[in-house]
Structure 1
């Protein structure tokens, strides 16, 4: 029957919790102190008949003593411990780490999902499963929850913060959260559960994952180069998303602590400095069981809760699979409120006649969570060949325990169809060198030259990053972008490709670097470490950071700039249409198009004029010529203005000139009074135009078009 913690350590903790000594327990049991000491030191265990007497002495039932999967409820009760004010009179206006992020559920999704990926138990090969639950409480359900979190004990602290709200940003947010709860009679909980993750292992105070998340700020124990986080800031998004500054935690551990794994519970409250009944408090507070080993048994530590307690705190987990549940109390999403502000002016009543002005808010939060997860983690949720997905995510929305929106599993193929197709093709080995059909995925390696550490000159080695290019689809969002990612497959960098060739079909591209390119790829570990150091706390780009400067050099970021240049060049080469003589379109139309080409005159020593390099044309409904032309620009700081001339080709005599009905710049130039002026530093320019039908001497279908580019005003 003994399934929990070893009897000796368990009994020692229960004696501390109940305030009993070994001698007092021995006296109640009618035994010697040596007998109790032998139990504590694990030299022996009590007989079954004595177990019942021990249960009575501890004020619990015989089952608890036998199984030892929970603490007895006798002794020190669960309560809030508020950190006393600093003896030197210092004051904090809130947790500075939380100011690094906005109250935005999309930011929350990015940071929490990244942390769950970092804590994934990779040994079993299964993905980490992350579920977001939005739960609105009203009426008696809200009242029961307030009692569970001991709201009456907290109220004086919130009142003190509200009184000083005009002087503190955190105070104003908290004051608004409290007023929203009481004036509107509603509270939104947002729970983040992960499964197949390590859980908050380690001691309450010593180094470990529990202390890093619950006790400390700006500490990250993620040592692997493939980890997403490195600043210890991501956890702050949990408290930043709570208008009440409160997060409750229930963790199932992958490694036992005190002989236990399930229902390790604690709460943390982030408030600014305050004074309550003349007593100053520094800021944070913890919900837990008073630690008998702390001075005055005041400091609260985590406790092993029973099932009823975690249910009352809305922290019940679906299974005994390792992982952690974070409950954000009073969740608010500024972006959702802004998007739905006008809608909330119109109130509706539910079946009980309760005014419902918040359902739109939680529906918007649901929609934005799904959108963010699909946008940022599509690659982590994609598998193929022998590569399995690293992540599964879902979102559900409840109100007083009733379903508002069914659980929605995020589908990466719906969120990013083109990119998931590209990544799957790479995993399955079905990529091609160059696309010849729709839906194909082109693959190219791009050299990433890694510098030597410590500011030394030279190159450590070349890491072959993998570039994938495929056709874009409408559901992908902005076309012609490169999404860059590394080991944990979260999208880090999103960038467009400038100077694309004329007439490029819309595409999407993916760059896999570090472990994302494959663990066996040369210098994958080194590339992973370098790129991780090149990410800011937001993990949304690669560039110069303090860590990159300290570990490599102040010029190390140039290696990333060079990688970007190589990637853009490879993309342009892969998406460029094959050159065809005479332009594009039907054979009959191609015969009707001519680009005027003459020996390029020089404007001065070493200076060459811009030159027409491509032409596409169609005949419009009104009979006008519609053209798109590309200009190749020579190197130079100041390029001469040029005038595009559209003419009709004839067998003899001068060519009749047509007038422009419209002439517009597309890229690399501007149009002023029919003259092209080119952007400094541009290597290509594109412009469009249509002819004035009234200037056509004959029907368009019977003519051949000639386009020339002349210097100056075209004389």
Structure 2
């Protein structure tokens, strides 16, 4: 029989939970208080016959006393603890961290999968396995789940929020979530399980991974420069994706806490300030066992649940392997709803809708598809191995309804989701890259220098040069191009191999054949690459909370210098230049070498039938953009415009805006706007001569029009017709 926690600490906690003293237990057992004290302090252990009497006194079975892998059910029951309102009258009308992200399952997949990668147990040498389960509950299944989460105790708090929902953004979301559950009679659960991860280790309150995720905001305990997260914001996507603001957790620990590792359970609820029966509550609440060490035993802490409890909470894990299960209650996907309203469903997604679940399962089927797409798009490199190198990640998605399978578990295959890029990375791992593309399907590799600055604000100094690895391959078939997404795009990534930056390669020659490029930087270029660790640290500091680009950030400016971002701009410029040279079409003639002939056959631009020339006005489109921040903090841009065939070309106005996470984008004035090729600039308006197919212009923004310094923002450039309204 497996033994868990040491007997002394376990018995001490059971006495607190049961509200008994050592003296009272001694009296019930007809033993001296000294004997009980010796058990508590670990100086001795009770005889087997006494174990039976202890079990009777604690109201449990003998097996629980012997194994000590769970608490007894005697004493304080699992309940909800709501944080009291602030005594100074302050009010929090929602968790600000959740506003950094959209209620989107693709955003959740990116953030949670990144966290699982960061928590992978590297010492095992195996990938971290992440599984997403969508589970729709109706009827008795929904009723049973609501009973398990003590819904009747929560309902007064949701009602209080609904009464004031009109004044609170979070309140309106929660109110809509509750109404949707009752009106449609259903609830969607989204569970994220990871295996071969560290689990939520550490104390309930002291520094550790458990407290960082469950108790605190904006705390990141990610270790090592290769970690993806750094802001402590990613976990907020779990609560942002819940229309009810509720997430339940079951963690299997890689390091024992209180002598155990399995079924550490807790729930956290995020609601705005509310008043219930005249009592104000601050916001968050926790589902757990009252902690007898807190005043009045009110604060709820995690508890070691039994198998029946985790099953009722839909938190049963598949194995004893360390990791954590997060259950998002009332999962919502705003982007999926927008897609449904716009009628963007693909035909294949509508097939089989009349099977079990019928129309009712369309939402979870869409969410399933979007999860697979996001995982394949953002983590294809982490799921790719080769040359003796194992993948870092395995990911899958499955969908259920009332315990029955709607969509079988789908293993995300990077070679299917991103065929060209996967081929390129695998060729790099297997050492079969070439110097120049001469045949279809080849992968060319080239080193790109990243000159790392000295930390501490030293101007002009260079710590050393890190050699990033650029991989380029042609798109062999139309199917590959469709799967890989936009053609002629470069994916940039670092140590944990999550795609950080996706950008089109600008200024490509006309007629360039379709390609895909990958830029491996930091430890992704190889842990033995010079200054790989330093490059990881530098680039990690250059990422915003979304981890979707490299550029100026406050941390980068403070730890290095306000101009340190220019090193990244130089890396991008050199990489784009190298791609243009590698994919340039060879000149005709000149010897007719065998390799050149093979290249011409492999990289031939497909001829399309001539399209009918429109007779009405045509609208130019922005095709490529280079943007950097100048010495005075202004944005400097160089843009390329593509113009359809047509008799008349609509004049366009370039509009520069600062990207913000909420609200309208502030518009910037132009200090300079200059035509370079194929256009004229007149009073800020771009005009194009008839017959023009491409045009270029450059510009410089006016720093006096900035509401915030450029180094802490991103730029959005739009072409608007007419006068630019």
Instruction: Give the TM interval when normalised to the shorter protein.
Output: 0.7 to 0.9
* Alignment of 1:114 onto 2:114: yes
- Determine the C-alpha separation between the residues in 2 that align with 1:185 and 1:676: 56
SS at structure 2 position matched to 1:16: helix
SS at structure 2 position matched to 1:672: coil
TM-score in terms of structure 2 length: 0.81
Aligned counterpart for 2:391 among listed residues 379, 389, 392: 389
Residues 77 and 533 (structure 1 numbering): CA distance in 2 closer, same or farther, change over 3 Å? Answer: same
CA apart distance, 1:673: 4.0
SS at structure 1 position matched to 2:467: strand
Aligned CA RMSD, in angstroms, stands at 2.7
- Determine the C-alpha separation between the residues in 1 that align with 2:20 and 2:516: 68
Could you tell me whether the CA contact under 8 Å between 1:344 and 1:360 is conserved in 2? Answer: no
SS at structure 2 position matched to 1:498: coil
SS at structure 1 position matched to 2:74: coil
* Alignment of 1:316 onto 2:325: no
- Determine the C-alpha separation between the residues in 2 that align with 1:256 and 1:16: 21
- Determine the C-alpha separation between the residues in 1 that align with 2:315 and 2:144: 14
Residues 182 and 427 (structure 1 numbering): CA distance in 2 closer, same or farther, change over 3 Å? Answer: same
SS at structure 1 position matched to 2:137: strand
- Determine the C-alpha separation between the residues in 1 that align with 2:646 and 2:305: 78
**What is the aligned partner in structure 2 of residue 459 from structure 1?**
462
Aligned counterpart for 2:566 among listed residues 525, 534, 558: 558
- Determine the C-alpha separation between the residues in 1 that align with 2:429 and 2:244: 45
* Alignment of 1:192 onto 2:195: no
* Alignment of 1:543 onto 2:545: no
CA apart distance, 1:500: 1.2
CA apart distance, 1:499: 1.2
CA apart distance, 1:576: 1.0
**What is the aligned partner in structure 1 of residue 162 from structure 2?**
162
Aligned counterpart for 2:542 among listed residues 490, 514, 534: 534
Residues 321 and 170 (structure 1 numbering): CA distance in 2 closer, same or farther, change over 3 Å? Answer: same
Residues 401 and 583 (structure 1 numbering): CA distance in 2 closer, same or farther, change over 3 Å? Answer: farther
- Determine the C-alpha separation between the residues in 2 that align with 1:617 and 1:461: 44
Aligned counterpart for 2:586 among listed residues 548, 553, 578: 578
Aligned counterpart for 2:409 among listed residues 401, 404, 407: 407
Residues 66 and 577 (structure 1 numbering): CA distance in 2 closer, same or farther, change over 3 Å? Answer: same
**What is the aligned partner in structure 2 of residue 597 from structure 1?**
none
**What is the aligned partner in structure 2 of residue 374 from structure 1?**
376
Residues 461 and 408 (structure 1 numbering): CA distance in 2 closer, same or farther, change over 3 Å? Answer: same
Could you tell me whether the CA contact under 8 Å between 2:648 and 2:690 is conserved in 1? Answer: no
SS at structure 2 position matched to 1:129: strand
SS at structure 2 position matched to 1:130: strand
Could you tell me whether the CA contact under 8 Å between 1:98 and 1:236 is conserved in 2? Answer: yes
SS at structure 2 position matched to 1:358: helix
Aligned counterpart for 1:469 among listed residues 456, 472, 477: 472
CA apart distance, 1:338: 1.7
Residues 620 and 307 (structure 1 numbering): CA distance in 2 closer, same or farther, change over 3 Å? Answer: closer
TM-score in terms of structure 1 length: 0.82
- Determine the C-alpha separation between the residues in 1 that align with 2:608 and 2:73: 86
- Determine the C-alpha separation between the residues in 2 that align with 1:532 and 1:424: 25
Could you tell me whether the CA contact under 8 Å between 2:678 and 2:689 is conserved in 1? Answer: no
SS at structure 1 position matched to 2:528: coil
**What is the aligned partner in structure 2 of residue 41 from structure 1?**
41
Residues 583 and 95 (structure 1 numbering): CA distance in 2 closer, same or farther, change over 3 Å? Answer: farther
**What is the aligned partner in structure 2 of residue 485 from structure 1?**
493
Could you tell me whether the CA contact under 8 Å between 2:129 and 2:196 is conserved in 1? Answer: yes
CA apart distance, 1:582: 8.8
Q: How does 1:91-490 map to 2 (within 5 A)?
A: 91-341=91-341, 357-457=359-459, 458-472=461-475, 473-474=480-481, 475-490=483-498
Residues 31 and 418 (structure 1 numbering): CA distance in 2 closer, same or farther, change over 3 Å? Answer: same
CA apart distance, 1:187: 0.3
Residues 25 and 480 (structure 1 numbering): CA distance in 2 closer, same or farther, change over 3 Å? Answer: same
Could you tell me whether the CA contact under 8 Å between 2:647 and 2:690 is conserved in 1? Answer: no
CA apart distance, 1:335: 1.0
- Determine the C-alpha separation between the residues in 1 that align with 2:86 and 2:45: 46
- Determine the C-alpha separation between the residues in 1 that align with 2:606 and 2:74: 87
- Determine the C-alpha separation between the residues in 1 that align with 2:311 and 2:606: 69
Could you tell me whether the CA contact under 8 Å between 2:353 and 2:362 is conserved in 1? Answer: no
CA apart distance, 1:497: 1.1
- Determine the C-alpha separation between the residues in 2 that align with 1:258 and 1:491: 38
Residues 674 and 13 (structure 1 numbering): CA distance in 2 closer, same or farther, change over 3 Å? Answer: closer
- Determine the C-alpha separation between the residues in 1 that align with 2:694 and 2:162: 60
Unaligned runs of 5+ in 1: 585-615, 623-659, 683-715
- Determine the C-alpha separation between the residues in 1 that align with 2:411 and 2:609: 47
CA apart distance, 1:344: 13
Could you tell me whether the CA contact under 8 Å between 1:130 and 1:194 is conserved in 2? Answer: yes
- Determine the C-alpha separation between the residues in 1 that align with 2:564 and 2:545: 18
* Alignment of 1:506 onto 2:523: no
CA apart distance, 1:130: 0.3
- Determine the C-alpha separation between the residues in 2 that align with 1:295 and 1:350: 56
- Determine the C-alpha separation between the residues in 1 that align with 2:109 and 2:607: 48
SS at structure 2 position matched to 1:117: helix
Residues 349 and 2 (structure 1 numbering): CA distance in 2 closer, same or farther, change over 3 Å? Answer: closer
Count of equivalent residues:
610
CA apart distance, 1:679: 2.9
- Determine the C-alpha separation between the residues in 2 that align with 1:344 and 1:478: 18
SS at structure 1 position matched to 2:327: strand
- Determine the C-alpha separation between the residues in 1 that align with 2:262 and 2:164: 40
CA apart distance, 1:509: 0.3
Deviation per residue, 1:654-704 (Å, 9 max, x gap): xxxxxx999999x9535624579963469xxxxxxxxxxxxxxxxxxxxxx
CA apart distance, 1:386: 2.3
Residues 23 and 337 (structure 1 numbering): CA distance in 2 closer, same or farther, change over 3 Å? Answer: same
Could you tell me whether the CA contact under 8 Å between 1:160 and 1:275 is conserved in 2? Answer: yes
SS at structure 1 position matched to 2:329: strand
Could you tell me whether the CA contact under 8 Å between 1:344 and 1:358 is conserved in 2? Answer: no
Larger Rg: 1
- Determine the C-alpha separation between the residues in 2 that align with 1:220 and 1:461: 28
- Determine the C-alpha separation between the residues in 1 that align with 2:489 and 2:254: 40
SS at structure 1 position matched to 2:395: strand
Residues 553 and 37 (structure 1 numbering): CA distance in 2 closer, same or farther, change over 3 Å? Answer: same
SS at structure 2 position matched to 1:404: strand
